[in-house]
Structures are given as structure tokens and as C-alpha cells.
């Protein structure tokens, strides 16, 4: 028999309420395949609290796309949990009332969404790159790794920011979803000169526009007759008719491969 020194509370220690609960909980969870059950709970939480802004499959919407392997604000799991629970200051990303455990389930679901980029795309990336650099004339407006125009968004890491479906849509129907900040601006001076382009900079008194020829225009607002922002019209031409479906596949396959890893 073990002798306990006088005053020790060891022999009197009863199983605490907490440990009983833990045992019961574990028994309950193991009874219904823990991994699947956890995944289903993570998905349910995601669909009810996050998909409104981030899309059913993380394709993005009002919130950023989450269906990519690397997230700017959440490079590791710890940061991801922090973003989920505390939100991102000064953005539309709200904090949540989730418990640590719920946040972990949602985080696991987001990491699962992030693996979509491994889905094979049908096209041929080297052929797509050729189209991008030659016939397509894409480099006139887009830069990849520092070379190319600045009229359209930089595409160096577009493969991890957009799904293949979205990329194809961008080429065929650019008006469907205009990249933030790249909507059309049309300025008309008092002398009647019209300038169309994307905004580079703007303050109370002036606006700087870049036209499709990559030329910068700095305009005083006082000199303008009108200044219109057209949020619905993309300045990206549609390529739905100029490429065959196979060529579009090649282009999408090339764009999908443009990630931070490929630019290293």
C-alpha cells in the first residue's frame, strides 16, 4: 500500500467534473467517426458565417478568395486562427464569437478549400505563355515579374489569387467581376478633350489616369467638365471570340501557374 504524507490531498482527490465531461465528450465524438464529424462541423460553420462574403467554395466575393494555398494575412495556422477570431482591423473582415475549437474547425476547412489550386487544368501552360506574350498582346497591359504594362493589374501571382473558373471568366467576360481599383474612368476637359483610363492616384484637387497606351495623364479637377467613374465597365477587352476554346484553356493553364513559388 502507498503511504501518503500527512496533509497531502492526493488520496482525497476525486475525478473532477471537467474530466468526467472530457471522457463523455470523447466517447460521444469517437462514436461517430471523429474526423468526418469535425470536417462537417467546420464546413457548416463556414457556410453559415463566412460564405456570405467568401463564397460557398471560398471563391471570394465581398471578401477575398480563400481557395488558394497561401493567404496574405494568414501565412500560418496561428495567424489564420487570429484572423478568424479577431477579424482584420480597418477592413470588412469582422471578428467572430467563435470558441477556440470552432475557429480551429473553420481553419481546417479553409485549408481544405486552399488545396483547389492543385486541380489539373486542361490546357498547356507553355503554349499559354506564348499566346500571352505574342498574339494575345497581354503584356501591353499586364506585367508578370516586373515586365509588361501597368494598365491592368499585375499578374505575377494571379494563380494563387483566382480560381481557374474566374480566370477564364476574366478573359471571356471581363465585365463580370472587375478587379478592385481597375474600373473605367472617363474625364472630359472644359476644352472637350476626353481621356479614358484607370486611376493611378487621386486627391481633392487632381486625378492621375493611365490610358490604354500606358500614358499617364495628370489632370486638375477644376479644369474638367466631367469626371465619370464607371464601376461596371472593364477596360480589359474580351477574348471570347479571338481565341479558340483550346487556346483559352492554354492561357488559363499558364495564368493558374503564376504563383509566388513560380516567381522565385
Task: Find out whether 144 and 156 touch, Cβ atoms under 8 Å.
Answer: yes
Window 167-186: contact mask with ligand HEC (x via CB under 6 A): x--xx--x---xx--x----
Binding of ligand HEC by 253 (CB under 6 A): no
Among 116, 187, 207, 235, binds ligand HEC (CB under 6 A): 235
Site for ligand HEC in 81-110 (CB under 6 A): 83-84, 88, 91-94, 96, 106, 110
Burial of residue 106 (CB within 10 Å: 0-12, 13-18, 19+) is: buried
# chain residues binding ligand HEC, by CB under 6 A: 52
Site for ligand HEC in 46-85 (CB under 6 A): 49-50, 52-54, 62-64, 66, 71-74, 80, 83-84
The Cα 69–Cα 58 span in angstroms is 12
Q: Closer CB to ligand HEC, residue 8 or residue 181?
A: 181
Binding of ligand HEC by 209 (CB under 6 A): no
| Alpha carbon separation from 25 to 20, 22, 30, 44 (Å, rounded) | 9, 5, 9, 20
Q: Closer CB to ligand HEC, residue 137 or residue 202?
A: 137
Q: Closer CB to ligand HEC, residue 54 or residue 257?
A: 54
Among 40, 150, 172, 212, binds ligand HEC (CB under 6 A): 212
Q: Closer CB to ligand HEC, residue 62 or residue 221?
A: 62
Q: Closer CB to ligand HEC, residue 185 or residue 219?
A: 185
Q: Closer CB to ligand HEC, residue 30 or residue 175?
A: 175
Where do contacts with ligand HEC occur on this chain (CB under 6 A)? 49-50, 52-54, 62-64, 66, 71-74, 80, 83-84, 88, 91-94, 96, 106, 110, 132, 136-138, 140-142, 151-153, 158, 162, 167, 170-171, 174, 178-179, 182, 198, 212, 234-237, 239, 251, 255
Amino acid at each position: 500500500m502507498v503511504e501518503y504524507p500527512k496533509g497531502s490531498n492526493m488520496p482525497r482527490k476525486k475525478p473532477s467534473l471537467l474530466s468526467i465531461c472530457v471522457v463523455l465528450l470523447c466517447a460521444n465524438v469517437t462514436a461517430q467517426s471523429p474526423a468526418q464529424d469535425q470536417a462537417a462541423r467546420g464546413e457548416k460553420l463556414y457556410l453559415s458565417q463566412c460564405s456570405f462574403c467568401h463564397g460557398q467554395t471560398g471563391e471570394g466575393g465581398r471578401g477575398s478568395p480563400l481557395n488558394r494555398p497561401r493567404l496574405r494575412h494568414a501565412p500560418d495556422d496561428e495567424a489564420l486562427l487570429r484572423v478568424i477570431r479577431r477579424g482584420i482591423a480597418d477592413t470588412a473582415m469582422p471578428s467572430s464569437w467563435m470558441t477556440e475549437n470552432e475557429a480551429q474547425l473553420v481553419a481546417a476547412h479553409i485549408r481544405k478549400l486552399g488545396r483547389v489550386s492543385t486541380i489539373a487544368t486542361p490546357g498547356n501552360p507553355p503554349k499559354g505563355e506564348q499566346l500571352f506574350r505574342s498574339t494575345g498582346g497581354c503584356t501591353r497591359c499586364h506585367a508578370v515579374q516586373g515586365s509588361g504594362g501597368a494598365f491592368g493589374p499585375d499578374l505575377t501571382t494571379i494563380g494563387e489569387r483566382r480560381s481557374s473558373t474566374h480566370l477564364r471568366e476574366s478573359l471571356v467576360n471581363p465585365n463580370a467581376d472587375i478587379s478592385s481599383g481597375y474600373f473605367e474612368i472617363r474625364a472630359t476637359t472644359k476644352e472637350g478633350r476626353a481621356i479614358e483610363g484607370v486611376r493611378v492616384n487621386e486627391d481633392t484637387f487632381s486625378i492621375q489616369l493611365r490610358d490604354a497606351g500606358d500614358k499617364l495623364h495628370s489632370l486638375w479637377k477644376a479644369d474638367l467638365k466631367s469626371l465619370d467613374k464607371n464601376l461596371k465597365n472593364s477596360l480589359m477587352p474580351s477574348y471570347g471570340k479571338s481565341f479558340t476554346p483550346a487556346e483559352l484553356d492554354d492561357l488559363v493553364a499558364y495564368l493558374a501557374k503564376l504563383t509566388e513559388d513560380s516567381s522565385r
